[in-house]
């Protein structure tokens, strides 16, 4: 007898009059799933499942999801926990997912703040191109300042969070430069300081800030920013700023 091949579940079409629900998923700062602007309360296991699918951005097998989400238990227990996380989703919330017998995925209609923030960052990193006005706002700076699930310590979250941190820092530095190029110096300083706040020892962020001050003609503030970083670097790492940063203020330091 030929082996029995598992069949993929066939999605059930919506009845006439049914319309897809609008879900918004936030992973920036804290987990929050909303349906139509109304927050959805989920248990921890269900939160982790939805966050995992959102971060992966593609269909995942049940085995892969169970193993990543519950790595410290047996395979049987992990699959049981996965079934429980799915079962705990109410009928409405389950529409935020695509579930079949083999794979799981986030529903295509779910709006994800991380996806939008990543797209913003990539637009800002296009070389020699001035972004649109919508990409050069205080809201854009705020979007690039938010951390990805900062209080979550799962390995799959930590990896994604570090990738996002690197991307947003580069984007903030690029944004500071582009804002300075159109003489929006106050916003440029805000973007550079946001990058410094995220990583105080990151020299490229301090370079961005010094350049903004120099472009605005504020030599004393440029020197203050340089000296603050030089002192911090010496105290924390026993290092000096690189020649790239020193060259920006070299003439100002000469007697």
Q: Does a structural domain hold residue 87?
A: yes
Give the residue from 144, 240, 235 showing the smallest Cα distance to 192: 144
Q: Does a structural domain hold residue 15?
A: no
Residues 161 and 49 in one domain: no
Distance, CA of 3 to CA of 136 (rounded, Å) = 59
Distance, CA of 221 to CA of 25 (rounded, Å) = 41
Q: Does a structural domain hold residue 13?
A: no
Whether pLDDT at 12 is above 80: no
Residues 121 and 166 in one domain: yes
- Average pLDDT for residues 8-22, to the nearest whole number? 46
Residues 117 and 236 in one domain: yes
At 28-46, the pLDDT tens digits run: 999 999 998 899 988 888 8
Residues 130 and 178 in one domain: yes
Residues 134 and 97 in one domain: no
Q: Output the domain CATH number for residue 195.
A: 1.25.40.10
Whether pLDDT at 49 is above 90: yes
Tokens of 57: 């951005």
Q: Does a structural domain hold residue 85?
A: yes
Query: What are the strands, taking DSSP E only, across the chain?
Result: 23-26, 32-35, 38-40, 60-61, 97-99, 103-106, 111-112
Residues 96 and 199 in one domain: no
Q: Does a structural domain hold residue 18?
A: no
Residues 99 and 152 in one domain: no
Q: What is the pLDDT of residue 219?
A: 95
Whether pLDDT at 10 is above 70: no
Q: Output the domain CATH number for residue 38.
A: 1.10.10.10
Q: What is the pLDDT of residue 18?
A: 52
Residues 206 and 116 in one domain: yes
At 149-158, the pLDDT tens digits run: 999 999 999 9
Whether pLDDT at 187 is above 90: yes
Concatenated DSSP letters of 196-245: HHH-TT-HHHHHHHHHHHHHHT-HHHHHHHHHHHHHHHHHHHS----HHH
At 72-124, the pLDDT tens digits run: 999 999 999 999 989 888 888 888 999 988 899 999 889 999 999 999 999 99
State the average pLDDT for the chain. 90
Residues 97 and 117 in one domain: no
Q: Of the ranges 78-92, 119-133, 159-173, 217-231, which one carries the lowest mean pLDDT score?
A: 78-92
Q: Which of 77, 109, 141 is the last residue of a domain?
A: 109
Residues 136 and 172 in one domain: yes
Q: Does a structural domain hold residue 157?
A: yes
Beta bridge partners of 30: none
pLDDT tier, 186 (very low <50, low <70, confident <90, very high otherwise)? very high
Q: Which of 51, 84, 109 is the last residue of a domain?
A: 109
pLDDT tier, 20 (very low <50, low <70, confident <90, very high otherwise)? low
75 to 67, 82, 87: CA distances (angstroms): 7, 11, 18
136: number of Cβ within 10 Å = 20
Residues 82 and 122 in one domain: no
Q: Does a structural domain hold residue 83?
A: yes
Residues 62 and 118 in one domain: no
At 235-255, the pLDDT tens digits run: 999 999 999 999 999 988 776
Whether pLDDT at 167 is above 80: yes
The count of structural domains within the chain is 2
- Residue 71 lies in domain: 23-109
Q: Which of 109, 139, 170 is the last residue of a domain?
A: 109
């Amino acid at each position: 007898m030929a082996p029995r091949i598992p069949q993929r579940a066939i999605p059930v079409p919506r009845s006439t009059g049914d319309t897809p629900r609008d879900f918004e998923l936030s992973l920036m700062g804290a987990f929050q799933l909303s349906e139509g602007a109304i927050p959805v309360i989920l248990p921890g296991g269900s939160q982790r499942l939805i966050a995992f699918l959102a971060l992966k951005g593609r269909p995942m097998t049940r085995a892969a999801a169970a193993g990543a989400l519950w790595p410290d238990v047996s395979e049987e227990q992990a699959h049981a926990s996965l079934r429980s996380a799915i079962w705990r989703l109410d009928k409405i919330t389950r529409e935020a997912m695509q579930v079949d017998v083999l794979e799981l995925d986030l529903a295509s209609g779910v709006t994800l703040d991380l996806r939008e923030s990543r797209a913003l960052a990539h637009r800002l990193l296009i070389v020699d191109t001035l972004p649109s006005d919508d990409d050069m706002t205080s809201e854009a700076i705020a979007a690039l300042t938010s951390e990805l699930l900062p209080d979550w310590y799962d390995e799959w979250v930590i990896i994604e969070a570090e990738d996002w941190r690197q991307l947003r820092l580069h984007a903030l530095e690029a944004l500071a430069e582009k804002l300075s190029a159109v003489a929006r110096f106050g916003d440029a300083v805000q973007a550079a300081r946001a990058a410094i706040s995220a990583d105080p020892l990151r020299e490229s962020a301090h370079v961005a800030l010094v350049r903004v001050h120099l472009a605005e003609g504020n030599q004393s503030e440029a020197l203050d920013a340089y000296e603050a970083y030089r002192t911090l670097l010496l105290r924390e790492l026993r290092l000096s700023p690189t020649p790239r940063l020193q060259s920006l203020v070299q003439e100002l330091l000469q007697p």
